[in-house]
Amino acid sequence: MFSAALQPSSARRSEAGAQLVMQRESRVQYGPVPRCLFGDPLPERTWQIKGDAFLLRGEGEHYFHYRRGTGVTVERGADSDLSEEGLWLNGSVYSAIASINGLLPIHASAVAFDGKVFAFTGPAESGKSTLVAALGSHGLPMFCDDTLVLDLSDPQRIVCLPGHKRLKLRPDAVALTRASREEKVSRTYDKYYCSPAAGVVDVALPLAELLFLEEGALAIVPIRGAERFARMQDDHQTARLFEAARRFDRATQFSHQARLATQISMTRLVRPLDRSRFRDSVALAASHVTRR
């Protein structure tokens, strides 16, 4: 039947489509890579983005190069620590690939409930992974650890891609959360891979809420008004990668942040960083997530 109705924009990806893009673009091969994308050779532990290409230098002569459409190429030097390679690939490289392909990586760990994602964000060492691991004992499966990738291609809603990283916990957090401990993450990194008690979710789901982890007396406090915009001023590495990849002008960057601020429900989860109160804070988070 003929229909003159407008068709959905081709810019709007299907949720499975975004996952497939990331699977395709993050495939890895080994070989020589350029030493810089522009200017001088890269110092260790720095990166460059130029157009649809990304170059990261890890420790020593360990290089990671990505170009849209051709995937990731890794060049290992004689001194490369191979136990760190997965961390680089799943960290900055993955976030750069997401950013270059129009997806937004944010620094957060998340659980799923009732077909939606509840993400916890905060500075490094604020307890994101520990909380998500502990919520497994309340029956909430993990959605992602450390990096949450958002698909913004549908203007009406924000969709989360399932996490690509395994849960990593420090030894004391393993004991606190009763997660199942597996192998050590790397020679130099004092964390262990773990299996969350309620398993993991591997399908894309809409974002329900972003909760900001803060220290203080136990409380759940909604974030409203202009503060929601201020909370989107993120200076984490993932945000810098996105900014470098998208190269928005001021007005477009404002529009992007305004969209996030108006579409994402935000809450402060305030809790004491006191081991004796840990179960209380986890119970509060669980009841908040499951009451919705």
Interacting residues toward another protein by CB under 8 A: 224-226, 228-230, 250-251, 254-255, 258, 261-262
**Cα separation, 60 vs 88, whole angstroms:** 13
What tokens were used for 57? 């230098």
Q: Compare residues 165 and 259 and give the one whose CB is closer to another protein.
A: 259
Q: Compare residues 186 and 263 and give the one whose CB is closer to another protein.
A: 263
Q: C-beta of 104: minimal distance to another protein in Å?
A: 17
**Cα separation, 153 vs 99, whole angstroms:** 13
Q: Compare residues 203 and 230 and give the one whose CB is closer to another protein.
A: 230
Contacts of 73 (CB under 8 A, 6+ apart): 28, 29, 30, 31, 32, 33, 64, 65, 66
| Strands 167-169 vs 116-121: parallel, antiparallel or unpaired | unpaired
As beta bridge partners, residue 222 has 267
Q: Compare residues 250 and 291 and give the one whose CB is closer to another protein.
A: 250
**Cα separation, 245 vs 105, whole angstroms:** 12
Q: C-beta of 229: minimal distance to another protein in Å?
A: 5
3-state secondary structure at position 121? strand
**Cα separation, 230 vs 79, whole angstroms:** 43
Q: C-beta of 249: minimal distance to another protein in Å?
A: 9
Q: C-beta of 213: minimal distance to another protein in Å?
A: 22
Q: Compare residues 82 and 258 and give the one whose CB is closer to another protein.
A: 258
Q: C-beta of 50: minimal distance to another protein in Å?
A: 23
Tally the C-alpha atoms within 13 A of residue 10's C-alpha that lie toward its C-beta: 0
Q: Compare residues 221 and 258 and give the one whose CB is closer to another protein.
A: 258
Rounded (10°) CA dihedral 34, 38, 43, 47: -80
Q: C-beta of 49: minimal distance to another protein in Å?
A: 21
